[in-house]
Amino acid sequence: MDNAIICTIMKLPYLRFLPAATFASIVCFASTGMAQNTGKPPVPSGNVTFSLWTIAGQPFQVMIDDFQKTYPNLKVKWTKYSTDEMKQAVRVASAAGKMSDTWFNWGGSLASPYEEGGHALELTPQMMAQYGVDKNIVPSALELARHNGKLYGVPIWVRPMTIFYKKSIFDKYGLTAPKTFDELEKVCEALKSKGIIPVACGGKFSWMTMRTTDFFVEHFAGPAMHDKLFSLEASYNSPEVIKAFAKLKEWVTKGYFNEGFISLDPAQALPLLQQDKAAMIFQGPWIEDQNIIASHEDPSNYVPIIAPADQQPVRVSGFQEQLQFWTKAKPDEQEAALLFASFITTPEVAKRHIAEFGSPSSVVGVLPTENRPIASQMAKWLQGEVGLYLPTDQALPQELVNAFFQAQDSLVLGTLTPEAACAAIQKAVDEYKAEHK
Amino acid sequence: MTALQQLAKPKPLRPRPPTPQRVRDDYLRFLPWVFLTPALAIYSVVVVYPMVYSSYLSLFRWDGISPTKVFVGLQNYVTLFTQNEVFWIALRNNAVWLVAALLLPTSIGLGLALLLNSKFRGSHVFRSIFYFPAVLSLAVVGLIWTWIYHPDLGLLNQALTASGLKGFTRNWLSDPQIALYPVIIAATWSAVGLPMLLYLAGLQTIPEELHEAAKIDGAGPIRRFVHVTFPLLRETTLIVLAITAINALKAYDIVYAMTNGGPANKTQLLSTWMYFLTYNYNQVGLGTAIAVVLFSLTLIFAIPYIRFMTRKT
């Protein structure tokens, strides 16, 4: 792929083609040798300890060890939280005016309040050059992280989310991976008739169910309208969205999800595949290390497929994950935190630890190792024509996420019709828009 | 006599002039406050200030992150009571939870205490066994019971199926009509230990002679319980009920761990809904308004309890 194509891709709205550009850039920059870190990040001279908040399962230890070995005068005070605790901790800290020097965050509406509220440090072009961010991170990953054209963090990972199937079950029943939406439904029907749960889901926090809902919206409404829904320009009352919600209800009624999935913890969904009770799941690449390899299973038995939305451009759900920095941190601690982010996104360091630190990485030229078939497969898609759309809980303002979740879950429970569910979301959208004129 | 000797010569002691009564009264009045100051300072910082600040925040529209808060007066309370459907679900669930908490753990705790109060081989072991759930964190209790209620892999449905009672299997935590009750059962399992312990302590204070006298008068076990034991456990019962009621209104962890307030917010309690609005959905004003409502409800039980305990002291 030549640079002109990549540049064209990168000029498109970020929600549409980001990952394609991300991984195209990885390969292109890696192969042409353009990725050279010319920035010289400043190193604090004295002993400095800075704080880092991340999610417990994230493998930062290997990076911290390497960083502290390279810079013996700098120490990382690492605090780990569960996913929801992490959101709470950062929020409380921001209100209390005492944030961590650097913290893990997602993007979209989960990060924007900290950026608009002046808590997350803006990385100016000078700083990006100084810390090598402009050269080491693929430009499209930076675009995904940008809010109103400004960068407030250093992207570390890009996470596509899609349908995985368990190969041994498909082989046993002579099924092949679905390439279209119709084929997907036929596979579900066939699995159901064999007594296998077609799709395992843990809907307790609503976001796992949301992945399927989002997929249906992508299928029925198409990429352009899906993005307009996120920017609140399109109506949830439109027939396309109602069809998507009706399809969700249809799948529930047909028993394509596991019994009682609506209150099941997401962590309890994958075991259904591991015990051969379910055949598919809507998940991300992190299950490869955190669940499959950790359970001493063969990751090649869990195959990710592009969720067949039958739309162009081809997209799957996904997001980037980043480190953000506190604007009011002490200068030397802020400098050390920025140096840490710069260090772990240096191609040499990222390559050295790719197996432990996980994939897909946002660092130029850093591709998954061969013993990570899931991450490798996803990286290959994203090098091609597969784009990402943000999941609803990152795309919509957080004030609206509850309305979406409640409508979706009420639909699943049968207390709302698809029309009523969509009307409930749109009502919340209208109220939000009136309040934030 | 040298000057040194003169200096060393003890002077006759003069009696200290009596402290005026008014000074002594002031001193005695002031003294308790001196001792109370450290505790008051800590209490003010960690309890009073957050409460007052939360009440203050309930008068604003604020996402909890941005530097600007918009003053809306009592609008958040109006919104809660007139537009927020989940608030009413949570309020109703709190009422159900409260009634269940007052009936189940207290009566089961009393029953266990009566059984374990009699001396038999291994009674201490049983006391420990029945108290054990109370020492577990509610998050752990929630996790254990979530697995028990798992629709496909859970112990409960598997046991029912194995016993030929497949018809009784349910999606215990997914059915919005019943989802709250399995959580209450899990909470009861965890909460029984404390009332049991308090009743055991209460039972040990009842003189054995009273039971013997009642026995001589021909009273059977039930009459002895109704006319001797239970009346003498009145104070213990009051304490148990007050503590249970306050704990019931504060219930949070187990719902968060087991259902996350779902499905579709049907198992929300005021405490969990307060949390979600404040921390997940950027509506700090509404969340803190719930906190004020919850605090007011808790006072209904806390004030009589505190007055009773103070009077007793």
- pTM of structure: 0.81
Bridging pattern class, strands A197-200 and A278-283: parallel
**How far does A112 lie from chain B, in Å, by closest CA?**
10
**B70 is a domain residue:** no
Chain A partners within 8 Å of B150 (Cβ): 264, 268
Q: Judge: B63–A205 Cβ closer than 8 Å, yes or no.
A: no
> In this complex, is the C-beta atom of B179 within 8 Å of any C-beta atom belonging to chain A?
yes
> In this complex, is the C-beta atom of B152 within 8 Å of any C-beta atom belonging to chain A?
yes
**How far does A114 lie from chain B, in Å, by closest CA?**
6
Task: Indicate the angle between helix axes B193-204 and B180-191, nearest 10 degrees.
Answer: 40
**How far does A80 lie from chain B, in Å, by closest CA?**
18
The string of pLDDT tens digits covering residues B142-180 is 999 999 999 888 999 999 999 999 999 999 999 999 999
**B145 is a domain residue:** yes
Residues A237 and A255: their CA atoms lie apart, in Å, by 26
Residue B63 has its nearest CB partner, among A113, A260, A265, at A113
The string of pLDDT tens digits covering residues B15-61 is 777 777 888 888 888 888 899 999 999 999 999 999 999 999 999 99
Torsion sign, CA atoms A115, A117, A119, A121: positive
Same fold, A3-159+318-385 and A161-313+391-435: yes
The string of pLDDT tens digits covering residues B247-298 is 898 899 999 999 999 899 999 999 999 999 998 888 999 999 999 999 999 8
Residues B274 and A257: their CA atoms lie apart, in Å, by 31
Single-letter code of the amino acid located at B293: V
Of all residues in chain A, the one with the smallest CA distance to B173 is: A263
Q: Judge: A259–B152 Cβ closer than 8 Å, yes or no.
A: yes
Higher-pLDDT residue of B3 and A110 is A110
**How far does B82 lie from chain A, in Å, by closest CA?**
15
CA-based nearest residue to B145, from B251, B249, B247, B257: B257
Indicate if the pLDDT at residue B225 is higher than 80. Answer: yes
Chain B partners within 8 Å of A262 (Cβ): 174, 262-264
Chain B partners within 8 Å of A248 (Cβ): none
What total of structural domains would you count in chain B? 1
Using 50 as the pLDDT threshold, list the residues of chain A that sit under it: 1-37
Residue B150 has its nearest CB partner, among A268, A412, A415, at A268
Indicate if the pLDDT at residue B137 is higher than 70. Answer: yes
Residues A376 and A384: their CA atoms lie apart, in Å, by 13
Question: Which residues, 6+ apart, have CB-to-CB distance to B191 below 8 Å?
Answer: B101, B105, B134, B244, B247
> In this complex, is the C-beta atom of B76 within 8 Å of any C-beta atom belonging to chain A?
no
CATH number of the CATH domain containing B261? 1.10.3720.10
Chain B partners within 8 Å of A92 (Cβ): 279
> In this complex, is the C-beta atom of A36 within 8 Å of any C-beta atom belonging to chain B?
no
Output the 3-class SS for chain B. Answer: CCHHHHHHCCCCCCCCCCCCHHHHHHHHHHHHHHHHHHHHHHHHHHHHHHHHHHHHHCCEECCCCCCCCEECCCHHHHHHHHCCHHHHHHHHHHHHHHHHHHHHHHHHHHHHHHHHHCCCCCHHHHHHHHHHHHHCCHHHHHHHHHHHCCCCCCHHHHHHHHCCCHHHCCCCCCCCCCCHHHHHHHHHHHHCHHHHHHHHHHHHCCCHHHHHHHHHCCCCHHHHHHHHHHHHCHHHHHHHHHHHHHHHHHCCHHHHHHCCCCCCCCCCCHHHHHHHHHHHCCCHHHHHHHHHHHHHHHHHHHHHHHHHHHHHC
Q: Judge: A116–B150 Cβ closer than 8 Å, yes or no.
A: no
Chain A partners within 8 Å of B65 (Cβ): 91, 94-95, 113-114, 117, 119
Give the Å distances, CA to CA, from A369 to A159, A220, A300, A360, A375: 16, 36, 13, 10, 8
Q: Judge: A397–B151 Cβ closer than 8 Å, yes or no.
A: no
**B47 is a domain residue:** no
Bridging pattern class, strands A315-325 and A387-389: parallel
E runs forming strands in A56-90: 74-81
Q: Position of tokens 């018809």?
A: B167
Q: Judge: B146–A203 Cβ closer than 8 Å, yes or no.
A: no
Measured in residues, chain B has a length of: 313
Question: Which sequence spans correspond to the domains of chain A?
Answer: 3-159+318-385, 161-313+391-435
Residues B295 and A45: their CA atoms lie apart, in Å, by 51
**B57 is a domain residue:** no
Residues B117 and B224: their CA atoms lie apart, in Å, by 15
> In this complex, is the C-beta atom of A91 within 8 Å of any C-beta atom belonging to chain B?
yes
Burial of A106 (0-12, 13-18, 19+ CB in 10 A): buried
**How far does B199 lie from chain A, in Å, by closest CA?**
36
Chain B partners within 8 Å of A260 (Cβ): 151-152, 171-175
Q: Count chain A–chain B contacts defined by CB atoms under 8 A.
A: 103
Identify the pLDDT of residue B313.
Answer: 59
**How far does A262 lie from chain B, in Å, by closest CA?**
6
The string of pLDDT tens digits covering residues A337-390 is 999 999 999 999 999 988 888 778 888 888 888 889 999 888 878 766 788 898
Q: What is the CATH number of domain A3-159+318-385?
A: 3.40.190.10
**Which residues between 114 and 133 in chain A have a beta carbon less than 8 angstroms from any beta carbon of chain B?**
114, 116-119
Identify the pLDDT of residue A36.
Answer: 42
Chain B partners within 8 Å of A117 (Cβ): 65-67
Return mean pLDDT, chain B. Answer: 90
% of chain B at pLDDT higher than 90: 66
- Which of A116, A257, A263 to probe the B interface (max B CBs under 10 A)? A263
Q: What is the CATH number of domain A161-313+391-435?
A: 3.40.190.10
Q: Judge: A91–B64 Cβ closer than 8 Å, yes or no.
A: yes
Residues A302 and A279: their CA atoms lie apart, in Å, by 9
Pair of tokens at residue A375: 């991450």
Q: Are B203 and B114 in contact (CB under 8 A)?
A: yes
